[in-house]
Amino acid sequence: MTDMPSVRVEGASFSYPGGKAGVFDITLDIAPGELVVCIGPSGCGKTTLLKLITGLLPCSAGRVWLGGEDVTTASVRSRQCGIVFQSYALFPHMSVWENVAYPLRVRAVDRAERRRQAEAMLDMVGLRGYAERLPAALSGGQQQRVALARALVFKPRTLLLDEPLSALDAATRISMRDEIRRIQKQQNIASLLITHDRDEALSLADRVAVLRDGRLVQIAPPQELYDRPADAFVASFIGRTNLIDGRVVAPDAVDTAIGRIVTPAHAMPMGAAVRLLVRPERIEPSSKETGENIFAATVVHDRFFGASREIELSVGQGMLKIDTTVRGAIAHVHLPRQAVQFLPTH
Amino acid sequence: MIPRWITVAYFVYLASPIALLFIGSFGDLWLNSLLPTGITVKWYLEVAADPNFRRAFMASLFVAVMTSAACVVIGLPLAYAVFRAQSRRVRAAVRVLYQLPVAMPALVLAFGFILVFSSDTLPWLGSIWLLVAGHIVLWLPYFLQTVVADMQRLGLRVLEDAAETLGSTPLQRFFHIVLPALRLSVLSGLIIVVALSIGEFQFSNLIAGFLNRTYPVVLLQAFYGATGFACAATVILLALALIASITGAFAAQGAARPSVAGDER
């Protein structure tokens, strides 16, 4: 039991009638206390995956386990998933504490005990003193906290959050992000959070799962995902990129539009078409004019953000984006050899 | 400037017949002059004392209340089914149903009822229950429209999903979530139904039996008699309809802003 992941999805598929949309053959484990963030463009199947775990949609293939129990055919209410919906889905006619206590009410907990537990949860999410209000009298961030308290009060087997921050303004979003992480760690509950915001994914997650067109492309800790993306889609979805197409000319060199780039040693055959990834912040302005991977560059766009500059450069026959803290004029750039990665070409 | 004058002109156009009715109902004598002479309440007393009007008043209330009850019993589950319907065909059929009372004159329905219910197998023409049945056909779509629109606005589907994941049974969801969330919508839907039902003339005039004519039907007869009497009888109908629509407006406002109720607590 202790070795079992809290959530296991194995080869789960679902397709909506008529359309191609859905999810296909998704396999995913969430360890106890782990927070997995699922990210992808809209329509990639993130919410569908969440509904398969909760049982709001049935798997057409594959299995779902919760806490070591196969729940593939179990009813929604028996699965005991705590869910925070995108719209919060607070019951408008119930007060804050009645909302939080609702899972206990349907479990026939007596009223005084319900009230006590709901108050304790409200304390934890920082809403002491709001018990008697109606949801409509709360701000978006406060409603979010009520939804979180309600999803946790019945000690669910997993916590699922469907774009919980998308309806909040920028400032509230960042403080709520930290708050969700704090509460999730404190409760030590296996959690899946869905988002389309890469900052949210990278800063919150123990592991990030990238979904595209209903398929799981890569699942990895944030750093690994950023440093070793599985393909060009993951690379550009999770950060800014320079994607450079070229042809292998030596065991450690590739000819590209910007010139001959020296790469880490590779095993590609001579003449093979390859795609290189270089992150903009890894490219340095250079004071030297010649040397390994040093190219003459002309500034095309220069955006100043205070702490850093995002610059687009014309290099050889191609373009490069760089992020730098250097203030002065830029005539040459250096691509460190170890900053160059190969991506699979499809 | 011009829009303001148009507004004023429209208001005068709208209000003057009502104002005339009102003045006429309190006027003692009104013969060949612009305005009546003398002030009296005798017309109201006469209407109140007239057994035909008393019976018609009760018949109208009875039909309105029964139609309302049927809307709740039939309409609420139906609205819920329409709201949850997945199939495009069902939704298309429902849209047609919504438009039907607008497209089909009550006269057509009445002739249909006369044809069917004057036969020897179904000789129910003249029964008040037939009148109720006709009103249900006429007003149920308006009730459905109101309630289904509110279900969508409230996001009832997600509320139910949430309740289900929190561990509730279908029956608990219906009584804990669906019914309480919809109580104001049902109320405002019913008030529309009552207002429409009380004022209905075409259908009731053709279908009602002599002993259960509704208020508007009897009202028509009044215009063959004294002007003041007819005016007073009409003002009573107008007051009923106004009460219904004002209550309806407040109920709808309450439904749209549940926070107001919360602040008062």
What would the mean pLDDT of A2-20 be, rounded to a whole number? Answer: 83
Inter-chain residue contact B258 with A93, CB threshold 8 Å:
yes
Give per-residue pLDDT as tens, B128-186: 999 999 999 999 999 998 999 999 888 999 999 999 999 999 999 999 999 898 988 88
Three-state secondary-structure class, residue A148: helix
Percent of chain A with pLDDT over 90: 82
Does residue A31 have a pLDDT over 90?
yes
Spacing of C-alpha B29 from chain mean position? 34
β-bridge partners, A295 = A333
Inter-chain residue contact B257 with A136, CB threshold 8 Å:
yes
Contacts of A154 in chain B (CB under 8 A): 166-167
Locate the chain A residue with the closest alpha carbon to B179.
A93
Tell me, yes or no, if B154 comes closer than 8 A to chain A by beta carbon: yes
Tell me, yes or no, if B88 comes closer than 8 A to chain A by beta carbon: no
Q: Is B204 left (phi over 0), alpha (psi -120 to 50) or beta?
A: alpha
Task: Kindly report the nearest CA distance between residue A38 and chain B, in angstroms.
Answer: 20
Neighbours of B86 (CB within 10 A): 7
Pairing of strands A253-256, A259-262: antiparallel
Q: Give 3-state DSSP helix, strand, coil % of chain A, rounded to 5.
A: 30, 35, 40
Whole-model pTM: value is: 0.80
Tell me, yes or no, if B259 comes closer than 8 A to chain A by beta carbon: yes
Three-state secondary-structure class, residue A41: coil
Inter-chain residue contact A79 with B162, CB threshold 8 Å:
no
Quickly state the pLDDT bin for A8 (edges 50, 70, 90): very high
Tell me, yes or no, if B161 comes closer than 8 A to chain A by beta carbon: yes
* CB B138 within 8 Å of CB B113: no
Contacts of A104 in chain B (CB under 8 A): none
Task: Kindly report the nearest CA distance between residue A125 and chain B, in angstroms.
Answer: 18
Task: Kindly report the nearest CA distance between residue A138 and chain B, in angstroms.
Answer: 9
Between A94, A106, A132, which is nearest B167 by CB? Answer: A106
Nearest to A300 by CA among A290, A289, A313: A313
What would the mean pLDDT of B31-47 be, rounded to a whole number? Answer: 84
What would the mean pLDDT of A139-154 be, rounded to a whole number? Answer: 94
What would the mean pLDDT of A233-247 be, rounded to a whole number? Answer: 93
Between A56, A133, A150, which is nearest B166 by CB? Answer: A150
Separation of alpha carbons B210 and B45, rounded Å:
23
Three-state secondary-structure class, residue A30: strand
β-bridge partners, A23 = A14
Tell me, yes or no, if B159 comes closer than 8 A to chain A by beta carbon: yes
User: What one-character-per-residue DSSP string does A295-342 give?
Assistant: EEEEEEEEEE-SS-EEEEEEETTEEEEEEE---S--SEEE--GGG-EE
What would the mean pLDDT of A224-230 be, rounded to a whole number? Answer: 93
Quickly state the pLDDT bin for B255 (edges 50, 70, 90): low
Q: Give 3-state DSSP helix, strand, coil % of chain B, rounded to 5.
A: 80, 5, 15
φ and ψ of A79, to 5 deg: -80, -25
Inter-chain residue contact A89 with B262, CB threshold 8 Å:
no
User: Both tokens of residue B228?
Assistant: 């003041």
pLDDT at B258: 47
Chains A–B, number of C-beta pairs less than 8 Å apart: 76
Contacts of B259 in chain A (CB under 8 A): 134, 136-137
Separation of alpha carbons B206 and B196, rounded Å:
17
Contacts of A139 in chain B (CB under 8 A): none
User: What one-character-per-residue DSSP string does B57-113 give?
Assistant: HHHHHHHHHHHHHHIIIIIHHHHHHHHH---HHHHHHHHHHHHHHHHS-HHHHHHHH
Contacts of A103 in chain B (CB under 8 A): 166-167
Cβ-Cβ contacts under 8 Å for A296 (sequence gap 6 or more): A289, A315, A331, A332
pLDDT at B259: 40
Contacts of B173 in chain A (CB under 8 A): none
Chain A interface test: which of B166, B183, B257 (most A C-beta within 10 Å): B166
Does residue A67 have a pLDDT over 70?
yes
Cβ-Cβ contacts under 8 Å for B166 (sequence gap 6 or more): A77, A102, A103, A106, A150, A151, A154
Task: Kindly report the nearest CA distance between residue A122 and chain B, in angstroms.
Answer: 17
Give per-residue pLDDT as tens, A243-279: 999 999 999 999 999 999 999 998 889 999 999 999 9
The residues on A that touch B, with CB distances below 8 Å, are 54, 56, 76-77, 79-83, 85, 87, 89, 91-95, 102-103, 105-107, 132-134, 136-137, 150-151, 154
Inter-chain residue contact A102 with B180, CB threshold 8 Å:
no
Helix axis angle, B179-199 to B156-165, nearest 10°: 150
Quickly state the pLDDT bin for B253 (edges 50, 70, 90): low
Chain B interface test: which of A48, A93, A95, A104 (most B C-beta within 10 Å): A93
Task: Kindly report the nearest CA distance between residue B264 and chain A, in angstroms.
Answer: 10
Task: Kindly report the nearest CA distance between residue A133 and chain B, in angstroms.
Answer: 7
Contacts of A132 in chain B (CB under 8 A): 265
Inter-chain residue contact A77 with B258, CB threshold 8 Å:
no
Across A67-140, where does the E strand assignment appear? 69-70, 81-84
Helix axis angle, B76-84 to B88-103, nearest 10°: 130
* CB B151 within 8 Å of CB B158: no
Task: Kindly report the nearest CA distance between residue B193 and chain A, in angstroms.
Answer: 25
Task: Kindly report the nearest CA distance between residue B19 and chain A, in angstroms.
Answer: 42
User: Both tokens of residue A116?
Assistant: 């006590």
Does residue A119 have a pLDDT over 70?
yes
Three-state secondary-structure class, residue A19: coil
Separation of alpha carbons A270 and B11, rounded Å:
87
Tell me, yes or no, if B158 comes closer than 8 A to chain A by beta carbon: yes
Inter-chain residue contact B265 with A105, CB threshold 8 Å:
no
Does residue A236 have a pLDDT over 60?
yes
Give per-residue pLDDT as tens, B53-110: 999 999 998 999 999 999 999 999 888 888 888 778 888 888 787 777 777 888 898 9
Give per-residue pLDDT as tens, B198-222: 989 999 998 888 888 999 999 988 8
Kindly provide the ipTM of the predicted complex, given to two decimals.
Answer: 0.84
Separation of alpha carbons A99 and A165, rounded Å:
20
Q: Is A49 left (phi over 0), alpha (psi -120 to 50) or beta?
A: alpha
pLDDT at A208: 96
